[in-house]
Chains A and B, each alone.
Chain A
Amino acid sequence: DIVMTQSPDSLAVSLGERATINCKSSQSVLYSSSNKNNLAWYQQKPGQPPKLLIFWASARESGVPDRFSGSGSGTDFTLTISSLLAEDVAIYYCQQYYSFPWTFGQGTKVELK
């Protein structure tokens, strides 16, 4: 199984400041034939299901604000919130959909400082 490891486990950020979350996979999730990384980022708020933010490591889902961006390739990925709003307080998960079983990171809790 591909193990997804996120860092940090939690992060306190001031309003308007940048938040950076890292995700490392135990093996590459880059499909050489498509040159796409099968890596997604989700946001989950209390009492709600996860919401897709980013797919193919850097493609923003429709309707997701452009303050959210994804980067990285191979085994190392980053989700950046460029200017944190109060509504961004949530838990963020990375997920690989390169090989079965699909696996998620343990989550990173973003809080207000």
Chain B
Amino acid sequence: EVQLVESGGGLVQPGGSLRLSCAASGFTFSGYYMHWVRQTPGKGLVWVADIDTDGGTTTYADSVKGRFTISRDNAKNTLYLQMNSLRDEDTAVYYCARDHGAFNAWGRGTLVTVSS
């Protein structure tokens, strides 16, 4: 069974940092591009970043470029999102998702709250 399990969310002050993880199982992780997508009540679903199969190519939404870094460890079947210089507007549930053209597998998400 395909499983994606996010962790690492929590409450952080503006300007702070968090590192999210997404543990993958049930499929050949190294064979898939992976994404982070976030969701807020006000702005709906917003794509954040993606990474190719070996981690050599990454792409970011303009809103997080220069602040967030997506990476992966194929030996550990884990996807990461390093989030620095966090802002109030980064508050959201963060999902990791598997790329098969569309996103055909999602984790249950981890909540990030940026607040003083």
Interface residues of A (CB under 8 A from B): 38, 40, 42, 48-52, 55-56, 61, 93, 95, 97, 100-107
Q: Which of B81-116 contact A (CB under 8 A)?
A: 95, 100-109
- From B9-17, B41-49, B66-74, the one touching the partner chain is B41-49
Inter-subunit contact B101/A55 (CB<8 Å): yes
Select one of A40, A49, A105 contacting B109, CB under 8 A.
A49
The count of chain B contact residues (Cβ–Cβ below 8 Å) is 20
**What is the interface of chain A mostly: helix, strand, loop, or mixed?**
loop
Interchain pairs with CB closer than 8 A, number: 50
Additional A-B contacts beyond A49-B107, A101-B61, A107-B45 (8; CB < 8 A): A48-B108, A49-B106, A50-B45, A52-B103, A100-B59, A101-B59, A103-B47, A106-B44
A103 to chain B: which residues have CB within 8 Å? Answer: 47
B50 to chain A: which residues have CB within 8 Å? Answer: 102
